[in-house]
Structure 1
């Protein structure tokens, strides 16, 4: 875990040193070196690009303790053993700088007890910091103060973790397992218990408690396997060891099936077996009655699936009143969750907001428990839960707190979220860092204006909304499904540039939800193609290309704010902008080969132009082809950057572009970039011809394609598509070094794009993608 935290700090350009024990044999840094090397192999990848592992400094406790004096933040992330942690603190205490913040990345041990091993001068700068695994991808970080932690230390750390590390911060009280694991693991234990009560198999439970509930697709038991059954058992033991007076204490008993699996060494995904086991291509599930694995694949009843699509109030009513065991099971786990959260809110969290955020961000729920309760009708659901408690159906006899029945309609209001400890509604944090989060995530009921209606609307139709927050920058929000780029979006982009050139400082392309854009709208093209064939598509394709050039040569800067997928036409929209601002988790690439096409909105033209620019910048005598190979390969193999960092390596982001760690700061940074460019005297690039690799470059690339085809690595149709890509990026049948224009190359793109539309094999790929969402290899 420590190595993965270090990896993410490298991702966000924070210098980091990773400490580990000295090796008993060989180089003293042997253990830490292996940990860093292992980062390159892990899936999902903790590093934006594997080679950045070299940026992690390596140290051991025997030789390098003096390096701690140069550190501003020290995060301890060793094994969850109180005695080991306390021994380490005693060893490092003398080497900690007077200003440094010290934090323990523990998932549930007492932060206050840990602090007792530290000298008095360090205690005010010590707290808990709980990253969720894997730290690159999980948004939640819990900060846990001790009674002696200075408030300004926690404010500094929260600001750093939010804006520089890119996380959603929740402050938790120093109670066992804090907020997310406390509520989440209690919920998993309740789910295991209720599944047993209603006789449901693990695969059915996972189907019921996954996407159908707006939760992680892995559901309950698959999630346990991924986390590790030993890890889960450790978190459960923390509850058992520290909460003997908890009214839910009997529910913290380790489930017999879990204990047996651990005893057998079946610890989940890391050992190849847990609640599930993979046998060849088949997935098997454990059948406790048979004490053996049987084929998995059980699904929720269709009736229950329909109920789960209803609005919250109707959904919970139908589940509670149904005689279907699956429906009764779902009502039971909802009731158990509401009951548990209400009883423990005052002890574990400052406000109900903290609980909802912790569960959403730490366990992948779309809606927290208090949000769902409030959405379903606070008073009615409270009455139902009370009736079940009184009837002995609940997991505990503990009554709901009195504040639940004080006439309220929920715990989240425009004033703030309910704090039982303070007996009032507490607003969101006012730390300056949050001023950068223009439309940060909030809880249902907070009454925050949605970005879809915020600001001043300048134009809106079914495809786009053009609006402004500050009367200085035009924001383009794409409204189509998956933000696909069709004629309406093209028209909206042109209109945005017209408006901005007339009276604004720039344009920002940003939508409040993901993806940035999944590409051109193939379905929108079908009617025209069916009526007039590829000839009918050519004019529409030219309009799209012209729109890209319009963005590139606009008299005001156009900034693309990218989060999630920017594929195909979405990638082209990004690269034709004056600048790109991308969230860390941005996946950018030209993927048209997957549907049997070539990039047709200027993507290949961009690759050719960038190769010429790099050749000119590097060496006037260098052949363009040597700078073209990577761009050709990326397009021909439909390579997608698996992070913004890798997208930069592929050339879809430039060194001058900005990578933003926190997704909620994306719009703020993009607007600032647009205004800064304008205020600095922005001028669009000069239209000028550039050299291409020509027919000799085409021949070189085609020779490589022939080898791949004849070796069985690509199909004949792949070879044909690759040849057309080579023709465009090399400039067609011209001499090497010939000067061409973007319009010339775009005409080649358009010609080959339309010719492929007439190919039966491309049509097979397009229809396969539209029908199944998966690429067809033919």
Structure 2
């Protein structure tokens, strides 16, 4: 069936066939995005025939890291089995097969599913490396144009990359529809791959792991040394290589390696495609990594042990990176860094150069086989393997021509893993002249021998300030309205709303120091004078890590609480300025919104949050309480919830949740969780695609202004008073006696309860914000004088973690 381009295709329900680890977590991420799922698996041999699917759904609630944004989302997944429930496929717009990596099993399943699939549905396989073309042959002719590969990386909620792999029969329009759904609805980064074994991400990534095995053995490095050298020091995942392999599963790694070994016999690097003996031995023993408790590493109590391949015993891990090599890796100039690594005689430096060189060499040799452009390959490694830069980016940043000469010399000297020469495009012609594969006009397409621009799909027009690769043109054309050392006020070009002012912070971690606070007030003044609305949002993350304690502590040390009191007042005045601004203020939240960042956001007229936003009033962790309107907000919101849902219910029933959340410094696990806590309202928008955040926020602000939005009027609200304080304090006493909180935790929590309940007043007394803010300020300044609070703050500033006292 051909696609009708005049009718928009909506993915309203998804079927996931296969309730294993990947299938269940793909289902979880679909429901995170509000898309209901039918999760299929084999019928259970005993009891409920949906037992396998039900067990998988129940497990989703327990897994860490959590695949679900909130546990109740599991209710949007319907369990099903292939015997009784195939008729439910008729309700599904997208059918994703996600069973084990066996070509024969997948084909058998397709024969069973095909008659029940709607003729206009999209069908896809989540295979990590099997031939999509071979899989398609098990489908009837009518479904083949609607079939493709859609390879999610594990875990699907957190990993950005999804590879989209067509066959020769796949309709191009279908790929555009699916890419739009994956990018905007599910928030993913899509790379279009060619139908070759392991596609792009695993092809380059697994070869990189094999290179690490080979070079580590050559230069005599231990596993933990390798992980130190190939982790954050190299701009990669903190877990490095071998710890990452343990997390992924050594059996999975071995399977992907064998796929390359079996299906790429003519590859010039084929000699290195065998499963390394140490890996094969671990798999044979059942030591599969984290899921079995042992792999390259094993934890004994609190001690991390690593495998010694010589003795085959686990010995204490002792990562030692030479200081000179650490200095080379810390060098910020890419050219100087690679020059130092290349020229050094130290085995650790030689190892790092060899691993990087191998990735450059392999990526260049195979680019034309596996991807349309160099951009697709680099993005696959950034999104799928957590690399800060892709191999071509690193090569280009360090000097394309010089690095290419080094690679050629190493090939000539027999130091590389293959004698295959660099392709001609890498050493002469447009790439050589441009000094790299990424240019302002596009990235190198080796098939068409030209620089190809970025995708023109409309979904990408919604992305504001999406990161660019080295050499690409800046994506953001904005106009600065006001800027100082603390903040920047700016506007977006057409077709974005011209009447919306955007405010971004410039402080480290976007903390709220006095200059930023004044910048926020100035932005409101500007917006009221010349614009229709204001958006507060950052181009990167986090939204804000809270108040700038480094700026506040010296003030306290020199002048005591009296010196800090004006700073607190200024923070409180700022949030009230936001709440009662005469233009709508929208907070665009992503990453952390902690402490003052949370207080700022809850006082805005509206919030637009990326799904992965972690919001919390965390001051209790450092022995303080929220002092910039956070507790006033919680008290007012609890009163609103009572009035909206059950006016006759006790106010404390609504207040208690806020009290315990703040007292335990709880941070939301997602934007949905923040909505459940109460830091986001039901009306606040949640977006899945991080780079659509400012697009949505600006339009939301513009719409609010155009629809006659008015600022709220100050109103008094009821508080729980002394009776509420007594009840909450009794619960805190039980927690202290039970050993759940320390004496100082109790002191802090008691103050929080006192403020949240409105102080020593009669139950249901009506108070205003000024009353609540005074209570907050007094309690905050009192706690700041406590020695144990000062110990916690000092520990946080010194080590990044508050001491538990």
- 2:340 is aligned to 318
Matched, 1:732 2:744: no
Matched, 1:344 2:366: yes
C-alpha distance in structure 2 between counterparts of 1:548 and 1:49, whole Å = 29
- 2:720 is aligned to 693
Q: Count how many residue pairs are aligned between Structure 1 and Structure 2.
A: 775
- 1:622 is aligned to 649
- 1:759 is aligned to 786
Offset, 1:626: 1.4
- 1:360 is aligned to 382
Matched, 1:653 2:680: yes
Question: Unpaired segments of 5 or more residues in structure 1?
Answer: none
Aligned match for 2:488, one of 454, 462, 465: 465
C-alpha distance in structure 2 between counterparts of 1:442 and 1:287, whole Å = 42
- 1:662 is aligned to 689
Aligned match for 1:431, one of 450, 457, 470: 457
Aligned match for 2:471, one of 445, 448, 452: 445
Residues 222-272 of structure 1: per-residue CA shift (max 9 Å, x gap): 000000000000000110110000000001011111011111111110011
Offset, 1:527: 2.3
C-alpha distance in structure 1 between counterparts of 2:740 and 2:386, whole Å = 38
Aligned match for 1:505, one of 528, 532, 542: 532
> Residues 389-538 of structure 1 correspond to what in structure 2 (within 5 A)?
389-406=411-428, 407-408=432-433, 409-449=435-475, 451=476, 454-470=477-493, 471-538=498-565
- After the TM superposition, list the runs of 4 or more consecutive aligned residues in structure 1 that deviate by more than 4 angstroms: none
C-alpha distance in structure 2 between counterparts of 1:619 and 1:50, whole Å = 25
Matched, 1:110 2:136: no
- 1:82 is aligned to 103
C-alpha distance in structure 2 between counterparts of 1:244 and 1:127, whole Å = 25
- 2:591 is aligned to 564
Task: Give the RMSD, CA atoms, in angstroms.
Answer: 0.8
Q: Secondary structure at the match of 2:330?
A: coil
Matched, 1:12 2:33: yes
- 1:743 is aligned to 770
Residues 486-515 of structure 1: per-residue CA shift (max 9 Å, x gap): 111111110111011111111111111111
Residues 653-706 of structure 1: per-residue CA shift (max 9 Å, x gap): 111001110101011011011001101101011111011001111111111111
Q: Secondary structure at the match of 1:477?
A: strand
Residues 106-137 of structure 1: per-residue CA shift (max 9 Å, x gap): 00000000000000000000000000000000
> Residues 146-185 of structure 1 correspond to what in structure 2 (within 5 A)?
146-185=167-206
Matched, 1:549 2:576: yes
Offset, 1:620: 2.6
C-alpha distance in structure 1 between counterparts of 2:761 and 2:436, whole Å = 71
Q: Secondary structure at the match of 1:372?
A: helix
C-alpha distance in structure 2 between counterparts of 1:189 and 1:619, whole Å = 62
TM-score, scaled relative to structure 1 = 0.99
Offset, 1:530: 1.6
C-alpha distance in structure 1 between counterparts of 2:552 and 2:52, whole Å = 57
- 1:684 is aligned to 711
Offset, 1:446: 0.7
- 2:617 is aligned to 590
Aligned match for 1:377, one of 388, 395, 399: 399
- 1:609 is aligned to 636
C-alpha distance in structure 1 between counterparts of 2:357 and 2:54, whole Å = 48
C-alpha distance in structure 2 between counterparts of 1:430 and 1:672, whole Å = 21
Aligned match for 1:62, one of 70, 83, 86: 83
C-alpha distance in structure 1 between counterparts of 2:503 and 2:337, whole Å = 36
C-alpha distance in structure 2 between counterparts of 1:388 and 1:653, whole Å = 57
Offset, 1:461: 1.5
> Residues 256-267 of structure 1 correspond to what in structure 2 (within 5 A)?
256-267=277-288
C-alpha distance in structure 2 between counterparts of 1:374 and 1:398, whole Å = 21
Aligned match for 2:408, one of 386, 390, 393: 386
Residues 397-444 of structure 1: per-residue CA shift (max 9 Å, x gap): 000001111133100011110011111111111001111001122211
Offset, 1:299: 2.7
C-alpha distance in structure 2 between counterparts of 1:777 and 1:318, whole Å = 43
C-alpha distance in structure 2 between counterparts of 1:545 and 1:654, whole Å = 21
- 1:297 is aligned to 318
Aligned match for 1:199, one of 205, 220, 223: 220
Matched, 1:635 2:662: yes
Q: Secondary structure at the match of 2:540?
A: coil
Offset, 1:707: 1.2
- 2:7 is aligned to none
C-alpha distance in structure 1 between counterparts of 2:133 and 2:562, whole Å = 72
Matched, 1:327 2:346: no
Residues 313-339 of structure 1: per-residue CA shift (max 9 Å, x gap): 111111111010000001101110100
C-alpha distance in structure 1 between counterparts of 2:669 and 2:526, whole Å = 35
> Residues 118-133 of structure 1 correspond to what in structure 2 (within 5 A)?
118-133=139-154
> Residues 212-227 of structure 1 correspond to what in structure 2 (within 5 A)?
212-227=233-248
C-alpha distance in structure 1 between counterparts of 2:711 and 2:295, whole Å = 59
- 2:8 is aligned to none
Aligned match for 2:166, one of 134, 145, 169: 145
Q: Secondary structure at the match of 1:308?
A: helix
Residues 521-553 of structure 1: per-residue CA shift (max 9 Å, x gap): 011012211221011111110110010010011
Q: Secondary structure at the match of 2:735?
A: helix
Offset, 1:51: 2.0
Q: Secondary structure at the match of 1:266?
A: coil
Residues 257-308 of structure 1: per-residue CA shift (max 9 Å, x gap): 1011111111110011100000010000011111111101313111111111
Residues 637-658 of structure 1: per-residue CA shift (max 9 Å, x gap): 1110011111111111111001
Offset, 1:708: 1.2
Offset, 1:468: 1.1
Aligned match for 1:253, one of 274, 280, 284: 274
C-alpha distance in structure 2 between counterparts of 1:466 and 1:646, whole Å = 31
Q: Secondary structure at the match of 2:190?
A: strand
Offset, 1:41: 1.3
Q: Secondary structure at the match of 1:671?
A: helix
C-alpha distance in structure 2 between counterparts of 1:709 and 1:371, whole Å = 54
TM-score, scaled relative to structure 2 = 0.96
C-alpha distance in structure 1 between counterparts of 2:224 and 2:378, whole Å = 26
- 1:208 is aligned to 229
Q: Secondary structure at the match of 2:123?
A: strand
C-alpha distance in structure 2 between counterparts of 1:341 and 1:711, whole Å = 59
Residues 57-116 of structure 1: per-residue CA shift (max 9 Å, x gap): 111000000110111000000000000000000001111101100000000000000000
Q: Secondary structure at the match of 1:25?
A: coil
